[in-house]
Structure 1
């Protein structure tokens, strides 16, 4: 849970004429970071590329990044598909009972009495009413509403998340 480089998303299509590029985000907290900051782009077929993100903005619900040295849509399109990694130190410390997605991914589910459920938290889906935790079991996925009725404490240091009465809403 203590990785120093955080996968924050991948770069999408260019936006506008000044070289902005869309970020398909893993974590919606990117616009809240303090810019400028250093980051790394990784591609399957070439060496990692260090970049400097000058600023981030949101247009029509899309996260846009302005990168140093990228001044046209053509230059921006050469970076499309790159996975964006930002060092953990650029993210503010999470507040009480608020967590970044990267902090939660990989947590193991346990019941209130400490019984291991054999589930790993792999994703969080945003829903208008509340977030939904996606757990991977040995052979399927389990979706758990992220509400107090079903989710107890998040134990980051232990790498666990407590689920309340999972037998009430899912067969174990």
Structure 2
């Protein structure tokens, strides 16, 4: 199953902030829609789309058994009604990152950066879903989707600051930070 994020004039998520953190930006849009599909190709929609990013969720690649057990103990589900804030953070890593072996990437990811262990304290308040895009020929390697309630906005900011200050982030060559709020449906 593919997940497609489309930036355009309409969508379930209203963009509140759109920033290029590193590298070239995407075209800023007022809304983002999220579609789950069996194919990356979507029919043309009546509302113009400025950009489309696709990814697929996958198995845990760098997680060890004890870390998986900790993650399973604090499930953070996407789609919770109270999680009306979201962030889409597409990331592209450098060629130097991909030239490393998986073991070397794991050492940087966890042993030096504490990516998994450091993120555990934000669960289940901040839910995260990682989508892999590199093997699909997409412009980013990963699309990270976060959802959280407004009450946890500062915790989310702390999580992002921590990840960007890590050894792993030195390998990021492109990152966009798109913050959103779920559009409310009018009653009646």
TM-score, normalized by the shorter chain, greater than 0.5? no
The higher relative CO (CA closer than 8 Å, separation ≥ 6) is in 2
Query: Which structure: greater helix fraction?
Result: 2
Q: TM-score, normalised by structure 1?
A: 0.23
Q: TM-score, normalised by structure 2?
A: 0.22
Query: Which structure: greater strand fraction?
Result: 1
